[in-house]
Chain A
Amino acid sequence: MFEDILKKFIILDGVSSVKIIRDTGEVLNSQKTGDFDDRQLAAVISFILEESKSMASKLGKEPLSMVFIEFRDHILLSAPLKDHIFIVLIANPGANIAQINQELKRNRDRLSQSL
């Protein structure tokens, strides 16, 4: 079931990679078509998530829902699923962010429960 959910993301137009990552850098699951170093990516993403959480807390102890980072050639979405575990999606700049975000919201609880 877990992989089935991840496949829902990878079939979205423009999405090249979906990963479940632990904040230690361990990749728990990965569905991808791209060519990235999972461990390096996980390490950097963990930092970003931690700093994002810290920034969110500066604005009134709010929990972080999602981080969206845009570069010229790639976009990256990440969201915490459970303590120390988060999902990372990598997509092309032309991908429909709203659709990916919607799918993430829709499946986030199921993913968390299946971990």
Chain B
Amino acid sequence: MMKNLPEGTSIGEMRASLQWILSHTARFAGLVLVTIQGSHGFILINMGKPLLYYFRHGTTVLKGHTAYEYFRSQPFIQFELRKYTVLEMTLALSIASAGEGNPGATTPGKRSDGMPVENAVSRESSSGETSSGEGEIPSTQSSGEDGNSVYEMDPTGYSEFAKETVSYAGLSQDAIVSPEGGPDPSLFPYISPGGIDEPQEPQKTDIGELILGQILNLPGVLAVTIFRRGLNVLSIGNINTENLVNVAEDLIESAKGLSFVMRTGPFIQVTLQIPAGNILIAPYYSEYVCILTSPGINLGQIRKIIRELPGVEPEEEAGDMV
């Protein structure tokens, strides 16, 4: 478990790019616990504002901007969301401030370039104390002999809570996200982190997450997957989506082809009915959401919610073509 910092409450384990994480945590306050190639780190986030970035690989510690750039360079990050109460967030901020030796370093907020106001780089002494100063720009640093800092995590404890079931965005407690042993992240196509500094749309994101939560809470919904360009960015529920997203994307492209034949208007959704249930796919921002349901579910109810999803009419031009 993370040393000193509040543990918080686990609400989900997922795999996504940093860009995706930052754009989907507008209502989240807590820790994003990060695992990259067996090493661990975290992002402290307060309602969409990243306050601290930290990553430790062996004796090398990355903080602030350096850690941010490292996370950003990763096409995929395995992470767990641990929600903080107001009290826990306050405590975390004060601990982080003390650890930095610079209370101002953890003031919530962002710089004009979207980066947290926390020092981009700092150096840790062998006693675990940290100092920072102007003009001091080390890109990495080594921890002291004891190897501990206020940010340090115990990988054993981490793996324990990382396996817990989740309730992200209103999920039922038995929903599970991105089981271990999934596709090797190195095999996934790279998603450009471009736009990470672009202004977020917290209200729009909030509405989308709220609606996703509604879908997940509906009786009969078994799993939800969000995917993009053959890449599964979020998978909730006990289902192997490894091969599903590629076929789903082909199906959507073919369905959109109907717009060239008929004056259909923009694509809204496609539903496949099989004896075991239904598969619904609809646009969700620049991604797609795929919902798997049991056979007896009320399709009309899901259709209504899907129509309210942000980005369900992304290709207005399609309907105007003959």
Residues of A at under 8 Å CB distance from B? 36-37, 40-41, 44-45, 47-48, 51-52, 54-56, 58-60, 62-74, 76, 90, 97-98, 101
Q: Does B258 contact A (CB under 8 A)?
A: yes
Residues of B at under 8 Å CB distance from A? 239, 243-244, 247-248, 250-251, 254-255, 257-276, 279, 292, 299-300, 303, 313, 319
**Taking CB as reference atom, which chain A residue is nearest B307?**
A70
Listed A/B pairs (8) with beta-carbon separation below 8 Å: A40-B261, A45-B258, A51-B254, A59-B292, A65-B274, A69-B270, A72-B266, A97-B299
Whether the Cβ atoms of B258 and A70 lie closer than 8 Å is no
Of A51, A70, A76, the contact of B250 (CB 8 Å cutoff): A51
Of B250, B254, B300, the contact of A44 (CB 8 Å cutoff): B254
The verdict on A56 contacting B319 (CB below 8 Å), with A44-B261, A73-B265, A98-B299 known, is no
Whether the Cβ atoms of B265 and A55 lie closer than 8 Å is no
A68 partner residues in chain B, CB cutoff 8 A: 270-273, 299
Tell me how far the C-beta of B292 lies from the nearest C-beta in chain A, rounded to whole angstroms. Answer: 8
A44 partner residues in chain B, CB cutoff 8 A: 254, 257-258, 260-261
A55 partner residues in chain B, CB cutoff 8 A: 244, 247-248, 251, 272, 279
Q: Which of B255, B267, B275, B300 has the most CB of A within 10 A?
A: B255
The verdict on A59 contacting B254 (CB below 8 Å), with A40-B261, A44-B261, A67-B270 known, is no
Q: Which of B260, B264, B269, B313 has the most CB of A within 10 A?
A: B264
Tell me how far the C-beta of B254 lies from the nearest C-beta in chain A, rounded to whole angstroms. Answer: 4
CA distance A73 to B273 in the complex (A): 22
Of B247, B263, B268, the contact of A54 (CB 8 Å cutoff): B247
The verdict on A73 contacting B263 (CB below 8 Å), with A47-B257, A52-B272, A97-B299 known, is yes
Whether the Cβ atoms of A98 and B254 lie closer than 8 Å is no
Whether the Cβ atoms of A58 and B273 lie closer than 8 Å is no
A64 partner residues in chain B, CB cutoff 8 A: 272-274
The verdict on A36 contacting B262 (CB below 8 Å), with A55-B251, A73-B319 known, is yes
Whether the Cβ atoms of A63 and B270 lie closer than 8 Å is no
Whether the Cβ atoms of A74 and B264 lie closer than 8 Å is yes
Whether the Cβ atoms of B244 and A62 lie closer than 8 Å is no
Tell me how far the C-beta of A82 lies from the nearest C-beta in chain B, rounded to whole angstroms. Answer: 18
Whether the Cβ atoms of B258 and A71 lie closer than 8 Å is yes
The verdict on A59 contacting B273 (CB below 8 Å), with A41-B262, A44-B258, A76-B258 known, is no
CA distance A98 to B275 in the complex (A): 16
CA distance A74 to B279 in the complex (A): 20
Whether the Cβ atoms of B266 and A71 lie closer than 8 Å is yes
B251 partner residues in chain A, CB cutoff 8 A: 48, 51-52, 55
A67 partner residues in chain B, CB cutoff 8 A: 270-273
CA distance A37 to B260 in the complex (A): 10
Tell me how far the C-beta of B294 lies from the nearest C-beta in chain A, rounded to whole angstroms. Answer: 13
B275 partner residues in chain A, CB cutoff 8 A: 62-63, 65
* Closest 7 A/B residue pairs (Cβ): A72-B265, A71-B264, A73-B265, A62-B274, A66-B273, A68-B271, A51-B251
B299 partner residues in chain A, CB cutoff 8 A: 68, 97-98
**Taking CB as reference atom, which chain A residue is nearest B250?**
A51
Of A37, A58, A69, A71, the contact of B319 (CB 8 Å cutoff): A71
The verdict on A70 contacting B300 (CB below 8 Å), with A47-B254, A59-B279, A62-B274 known, is no
The verdict on A70 contacting B269 (CB below 8 Å), with A47-B254, A51-B250, A59-B244 known, is yes
A76 partner residues in chain B, CB cutoff 8 A: 258
